[in-house]
A and B are shown apart, each in its own frame.
Chain A
Amino acid sequence: MRKEYKVSVYNDEGKEIAENVPIKAFHPLRNPYMREIAWTLKRTAIVNLHKIETMLSEGKAGWTTGTGQNEVQMPWYGFDVDLIGHAEYIADELKKMIQVEKDDDTEIKVIENGQILIVKVPKARLIYAGDYSPTFTSTAVALGQIIARLANLTPLEEPYKLGLLKNVLWGRYPQSVTPQKGNPISLIIKYPSALEGLGTSLKSTIINHIVALVDKRTLWGAALATILEQLSQAEMGNNIGWYENYNLLGSVYQGFNANNMVLDLIKENKSGSVYSVLVSTLERAIEDKIIEVKSNRYPDVQPSGYKLYSPKDFLLWNAYALAGMMAAVIVNVGASRALQSAGAVLSYFSDILAFEAGGLPDGDCGRVMGTALGYTFYTHGVFGGAGPGMFSLDHVLTRHTSGFFNPCIVAAACLDAGTQTFTPEVSSGIYFTIRKHLPEFDRPIEKVAEAAEEIKNEV
């Protein structure tokens, strides 16, 4: 029989949202809000009509890199078609073609004066699909038919224009594994054919996109990243049995500010260093009787008087250490207002902790530390690498923890004052716009806690 844990969740202003909720209510497959996030990610496609119009008129399509979006230029096949002016008509036609039954849950929103469409495909298309490809494929095919009709294209008269249209909407796919980088029809997560592992799909979005979706609000970013990570943990089968309470406790303390711990640690150390956060974490753990020195004799007290601390409740200690990590990152990055130091803090927080508390295991048993060492190495440009915010959560450098690394990086990215080469404004500008029309991603801590409060008597 596993121990029952209960937590209270506080928002980023220190206000209590949910009191004494069992942590089972934060299980990604039980919590209604977390399920809604997963469902939204799977069924949402973003159509950039302005970009399609420009690409069609200039005859540019089919590139292979994100930065070189003018690699292929064939202006002689270009043609003009007014899409933004017909946005409402396109939305109506799309809806008719995508919906499976009349008045089902298909949703299409026209935003930014017709420049962008947010398409949500119906459940009926996804539930009998092997993966979430229909979100992209059905939208792209339907849009292709609508544009071909708007521009009066026929394969006998303008075969090459039709070829260009296909390339604008799909890139070089199926020659390439996925459509082109920066395809005008995109998913928030990666295309299913580009996934690198089993169960990584829901977290396959880049750090800067998450930062933009929460409008650079630090603890919201941490919460949203935690939700995506934990959904993936469930999909990977990594929060089952032994690991269930381990993952739930860790994510609630680190990501959702349980018992106001992260915020308390930040407030206590607002002009402190990483080490002072570590000391505060240990003080709090001793105070709450999570760790202790078992006796006054050897080996618990070493000859020099050095004490070996032992966890009384390892799962809870792990959660405390993870919350301490989050606070340490926020304190250090908040001081320099530069994202790049997040990896260094995550790697050395564990290292200092090991020698400070007599070999007490660190958060996530060294996985965060190991991941952070690789991450710092590749974000500091020795072998190229990328900007810290350009990594996706399922990247080979960032995915190796039980979902406790990326929330810290996202929080740090929210605090950055503009020191990156690829800032969220550069890489994810469109997400700042669409977040206003996707209310699902707003106020994640509050929503996840309210959802947990709703189901707390059922779990």
Chain B
Amino acid sequence: MAELKRRRRGRKIKKYKPQLYPGPDEVSERRRFAMDASRRLKRFRSIPDDNLVMLLGHRHPGELYLSIHPPLDELVEKYDPVKNIVEPTPGARAGDRIRFILFTDSVYYPPMAPWLRARAYLNRYRGIDTVVYSSRQLLEMRERDLEAVSKELIETNLFDPGRVAIRGLTTHGHSLRLDEDGLMFDARRRYKFDKEIGEVVYIKNAQAEILDMPIPVGRPMSEREARGQDVTYRWDVAPYKSRTEIMSVIARYGTARIIGGYNPELLDEIDPLYGVRYDEIDKIKNNSEKYKNGGGE
């Protein structure tokens, strides 16, 4: 930031205020909340570290982290100024393996969605790799970084034990009707609803290997609660018209790409929001002003 301050010195420039996402309604606000790195996620539940490690299934609790290359401090590297500028994460510094977590989000009142996950991850965390596949969103990081991040993702409002699942394989189920007890369908039966404690318990880890003891991950949200956390637009959550702002941004973006990709110089002539030449817009505006003053020929 020092560099930016130096450049700003002596000039009156308003600081840029991040906007994150368009839309005036609740759903847009929830999307902004998930993406905004300056806002802390709401903590809903608590998962002990050892349970998390068992759930991920990459190592045993208490086991040392395996490494893929020597720690960066011991690695002999050629001189490169850029490598000395960017700070590596703790996992990268130690040379950890790269491990992953996959989340599947149901389409029925989900607190998160794959495309929003990607944006939230890249806004909130450093040194991450995320890819969307069919019905799942992958997050890859150095092992110890991954464990810290997964803990946050599972303990907070981005996770609903009933409608979001941790699945390393056989991930399908996001678009199927909810299974018994209102849980998302899982072909591997990794989790079930424990009626005695009223929580969802994982009896298999993400890779569908049977766990020594079941791991509770918290109470699933009722449909009413889930509706209050939903990040998708649907008829009973937010009406269609409330998307107008988002739709116009998407349309503007799409048109601008098409025009700019075809002839970069045309963007000075055509308004990407309406897809019409600027001089024609001026004509229309002039006409409408005529009508205001008594109208017509």
Q: Are A and B physically bound partners? A: yes
The interface of chain A, by Cβ under 8 A from chain B, is 12-14, 215-219, 242-243, 245-246, 263-264, 266-268, 270-276, 279-280, 282-284, 286-287, 299, 302-304, 306-308, 311, 314-315, 318, 330-338, 340-341, 343-345, 348-349, 351-352, 354-362, 364-367, 376-377, 380, 382, 414-415, 417-419
Q: A243-B264, A268-B4, A306-B23 are in contact. Are A352 and B122 (CB under 8 A)?
A: yes
Bound complex: CA A338 to CA B265 (Å) = 38
* Cβ proximity bits B89-131 to A, threshold 8 Å, 1 near / 0 not: 1011001001000000000000000010011001111111111
Q: A271-B87, A337-B92, A340-B140 are in contact. Are A332 and B82 (CB under 8 A)?
A: no
Question: Is the beta-carbon distance between A415 and B83 smaller than 8 angstroms?
Answer: yes
Question: Is the beta-carbon distance between A273 and B264 smaller than 8 angstroms?
Answer: no
Q: A216-B77, A361-B253, A365-B261 are in contact. List 14 more A-B contacts (CB 8 A).
A: A279-B16, A287-B7, A314-B264, A314-B268, A337-B72, A338-B92, A338-B129, A341-B128, A344-B131, A354-B249, A355-B20, A359-B252, A364-B261, A415-B83
Bound complex: CA A336 to CA B68 (Å) = 13
Which residues from A are CB-within-8-Å of B263? 242
Nearest Cβ in chain A — how far from B28, in angstroms? 8
Bound complex: CA A272 to CA B273 (Å) = 32
Judged by a CB distance under 8 angstroms, whether B197 is at the interface is no
Question: Chain B binding site: helix, strand, loop or mixed by DSSP?
Answer: mixed
Give 20 pairs: A residue, B residue, CB < 8 Å, sorted on A.
A12-B80, A13-B81, A246-B264, A267-B3, A268-B1, A271-B87, A314-B264, A318-B260, A336-B91, A338-B92, A338-B142, A340-B98, A341-B140, A348-B130, A352-B123, A362-B257, A365-B256, A377-B133, A380-B131, A419-B68
Nearest Cβ in chain B — how far from A189, in angstroms? 25
Question: Is the beta-carbon distance between B78 and A216 smaller than 8 angstroms?
Answer: yes
Bound complex: CA A415 to CA B251 (Å) = 37
Q: How many residues of B contact A (CB 8 A)?
A: 77
Judged by a CB distance under 8 angstroms, whether B187 is at the interface is no
Question: Is the beta-carbon distance between A418 and B261 smaller than 8 angstroms?
Answer: no
Q: A215-B78, A273-B124, A348-B122 are in contact. Are A335 and B140 (CB under 8 A)?
A: no
Q: A332-B126, A336-B128, A337-B72 are in contact. Are A355 and B22 (CB under 8 A)?
A: yes
Select one of B18, B142, B264 contacting A356, CB under 8 A.
B18
Which residues from B are CB-within-8-Å of A242? 263-265
Nearest Cβ in chain A — how far from B26, in angstroms? 12
Question: Is the beta-carbon distance between A279 and B252 smaller than 8 angstroms?
Answer: no
Question: Is the beta-carbon distance between B37 and A336 smaller than 8 angstroms?
Answer: no
Of all chain A residues, which has the CB nearest B11?
Answer: A287
Bound complex: CA A448 to CA B208 (Å) = 55
Q: A271-B87, A338-B92, A358-B249 are in contact. Are A12 and B126 (CB under 8 A)?
A: no
Nearest Cβ in chain B — how far from A457, in angstroms? 27
Which residues from A are CB-within-8-Å of B7? 284, 287
Q: A218-B80, A331-B86, A418-B69 are in contact. Are A274 and B122 (CB under 8 A)?
A: yes
Nearest Cβ in chain B — how far from A248, in angstroms? 12
From B98, B252, B253, B267, residue with most partner A Cβ within 10 Å: B253
Contacting residues of chain B (1-44) with chain A, CB-CB under 8 angstroms: 1, 3-4, 7-8, 11, 13, 15-16, 18-24, 28, 35, 37
Question: Is the beta-carbon distance between B92 and A358 smaller than 8 angstroms?
Answer: no
Select one of B15, B16, B118 contacting A348, CB under 8 A.
B118
Nearest Cβ in chain B — how far from A129, in angstroms? 36
Q: A267-B3, A299-B273, A341-B128 are in contact. Are A336 and B19 (CB under 8 A)?
A: no
Nearest Cβ in chain A — how far from B141, in angstroms? 7
From A284, A361, A414, residue with most partner B Cβ within 10 Å: A361
Which residues from B are CB-within-8-Å of A343? 131
The interface of chain B, by Cβ under 8 A from chain A, is 1, 3-4, 7-8, 11, 13, 15-16, 18-24, 28, 35, 37, 68-69, 72, 75, 77-83, 85-89, 91-92, 95, 98, 115, 118-119, 122-131, 133, 138, 140-142, 145, 245, 248-253, 256-258, 260-261, 263-265, 267-268, 272-273
Which residues from A are CB-within-8-Å of B22? 302, 304, 306, 355, 358
Question: Is the beta-carbon distance between B82 and A306 smaller than 8 angstroms?
Answer: no
Nearest Cβ in chain B — how far from A124, in angstroms? 38
Which residues from B are CB-within-8-Å of A216? 77-78, 80
Question: Is the beta-carbon distance between A283 and B15 smaller than 8 angstroms?
Answer: yes
Bound complex: CA A287 to CA B6 (Å) = 13
Question: Is the beta-carbon distance between B72 and A12 smaller than 8 angstroms?
Answer: no
Of all chain A residues, which has the CB nearest B125?
Answer: A273
Bound complex: CA A361 to CA B7 (Å) = 26
